[in-house]
Amino acid sequence: MVEDIIMRHGATEDKLMPILLDIQNSNERHYLKEEDLKTVSKILGIPESRVYSVVTFYSFFSLKPRGKYIIQICDNAPCIVNGAYNVIDDFRRALGIDMGQTTNDGMFTLEHSSCLGCCSHAPAARIGGELYGDLNTDRINSILSELRRQ
């Protein structure tokens, strides 16, 4: 419940980001509903426009429903020169969707990511809040099967 999340953090302006992160993580489609944002605005006493500003500024937040697992693929220089574009192609092929899209069964969303700090195990991706490095076609397929099984 949105109100519970707010009370747990404290209904002050500076807690906006932790509150939004928790609200987003509390629903399976990893997104923020407009009515929840209105509730946050009301309880915290900050204008809706400011809440919207924070939601649209940070890459983590989404106003649209996404998949159960968000696959964030790094496409910065250290990963690119270690095969990141192949990783992107592998995921696109395996899931049948393009970057920025969600599979029809609501399981996976593909997103670009800035550097994940996983450069020593490039190419890397962050999937469902866990970092996976040294990706190749086999690893990608086994990761996807494992996640589907859960």
Decide whether 63 or 104 has the Cβ nearer to other proteins.
63
Q: Does 98 bind other proteins (CB under 8 A)?
A: no
Query: Segment contacting other proteins (CB under 8 A): 88-96, 102-110, 116-124, 135-143?
Result: 116-124
If you ran DSSP here, which 8-state letter would residue 131 be given? E
Residue 65 contacts by C-beta under 8 Å, 6 or more apart in sequence? 29, 30, 31, 102, 106
Distance CA 141, CA 87 (A): 11
Q: Does 100 bind other proteins (CB under 8 A)?
A: no
Q: Does 104 bind other proteins (CB under 8 A)?
A: no
**Under 8 Å between Cβ of 30 and 22:** no
Chain residues that interact with other proteins, rule: CB under 8 A: 12-18, 20-21, 34, 37-38, 46-54, 56-61, 72, 75-78, 80-82, 112-122, 126, 129-131
